[in-house]
Amino acid sequence: MNIAFIGLGNMGAPMAANLAAAGHSVIGFDVAGATAPGVTQAETAAQAVADARVVITMLPNGAILRTVADDIIPAMAQGAVLLDCSTVDVDSARTVAEQAQAAGLGALDAPVSGGIGGAAAGTLTFMVGGSPEAFAIATPLFDIMGQKAVHCGPSGNGQAAKICNNMILGATMIVTCEAFALADKLGLAREAMFDVVSTSSGSSWSMNAYCPAPGVGPASPADNGYKPGFAADLMLKDLRLSQQAAEAVDADTPMGARALELYRRFVEEESGQGMDFSAMLPRFEKRGRG
């Protein structure tokens, strides 16, 4: 399959490289000049997409997605599929999908979970919105880049699934870190708390698979100085998207709103910039009740 890949950053480059390694013809473009192994470089985004059956984008935000869409949609071949793997606001995803469909193209919004490691290993999870027909065309590519792709419904629903999932993740990581800090002050050993909670009603992915306490549970960024597996900055972005969406549809999300404020303070006013999102634990360790 002829594939164009726009956005060869930390996530896009390994995804594109995996597609090329699987035998697909991949032409890439990145505004910063980034490259990926096995990927032919185009001089412009419009040049990259001209002969592509599927055009994949991995971009920082909705505003950039809209700008790139304006550039590449007129250059895409009739019947091609625009597959956006960025994490953006639901409105941008739906607007770009409508623009693509009006031009005779298929459109999918397919944000990912799994981070840079998952992109390199080809073990991402894709949450996909769009038509069943476009999803069927892209499925062989999802199988290369990831371990699972879930069709969540019409355009925009992939982004909806991503932000709802990460709102839960942000809130559960905060309360997991709070609980470890409380356990410390109560004299409860961290290993004992993990052994109880990970097999009891308080269990969660944040506790069981990504434990924020160093030396407890499976290896996680906490065991590597909280170097990012999933950066606190990215959690803050996703929580902002969740609250933007909640405001747009008049949804009451007080825990999501509180998680947003705590991560905003952590990243913008404290020591969270460039740290993993689980580095909330040392933050709570240093704080008292006030």
CATH number of domain containing 74: 3.40.50.720
What values do phi and psi take at 102, rounded to 5? -65, -25
Q: In whole numbers, what is the pLDDT of the chain averaged over residues?
A: 97
Whether 141 and 182 map to the same domain: the answer is no
Report the SS3 class of residue 275: coil
Task: Please pick, among 148, 162, 227, 286, the residue that the annotation labels catalytic.
Answer: 162
Where does a domain end: 106, 127, 154?
Answer: 154
Whether 40 and 88 map to the same domain: the answer is yes
Kindly list the distances between the CA atom of residue 48 and the CA atoms of 5, 55, 90, 122, 143, in Å, as whole numbers in the listed order.
8, 9, 26, 23, 23
Where does a domain end: 154, 188, 220?
Answer: 154
Whether 166 and 261 map to the same domain: the answer is yes
In whole angstroms, give the CA distance from residue 103 to residue 260.
Answer: 37
Whether 179 and 136 map to the same domain: the answer is no
> Contacts by 221-227 with C-beta closer than 8 Å and gap 24+?
221/276, 221/278, 221/279, 222/276, 222/278, 222/279, 222/281, 226/275, 226/276, 226/278, 226/279, 226/282, 227/275, 227/276
Instruction: Tell me the per-residue pLDDT of 228-260, one tens digit each, with 9 for 90 and over.
Output: 989 999 999 999 999 999 999 999 999 999 999
Instruction: Write down the pLDDT at residue 98.
Output: 98
Whether 149 and 164 map to the same domain: the answer is no
Whether 49 and 170 map to the same domain: the answer is no
Instruction: Tell me the per-residue pLDDT of 47-86, one tens digit each, with 9 for 90 and over.
Output: 999 999 999 999 999 999 999 999 999 999 999 999 999 9
Q: How many residues does the chain have?
A: 290
The structure's pTM equals 0.92
Where does a domain end: 154, 171, 186?
Answer: 154
Tally of domains in the chain: 2
Instruction: Judge whether residue 101 has pLDDT over 90.
Output: yes
CATH number at residue 179: 1.10.1040.10
Q: Which domain range does residue 282 map to?
A: 160-286
**Catalytic residue status for 286:** no
Whether 53 and 98 map to the same domain: the answer is yes
What values do phi and psi take at 153, rounded to 5? 125, -155
For residue 129, the cross-strand partners are 109, 153
Q: Judge whether 106 and 155 are in contact, CB under 8 Å.
A: no
Whether 6 and 125 map to the same domain: the answer is yes
Instruction: Judge whether residue 290 has pLDDT over 80.
Output: no
User: Would you place residue 126 in the very low, low, confident or very high pLDDT band (cuts 50, 70, 90)?
Assistant: very high
Report the SS3 class of residue 43: coil
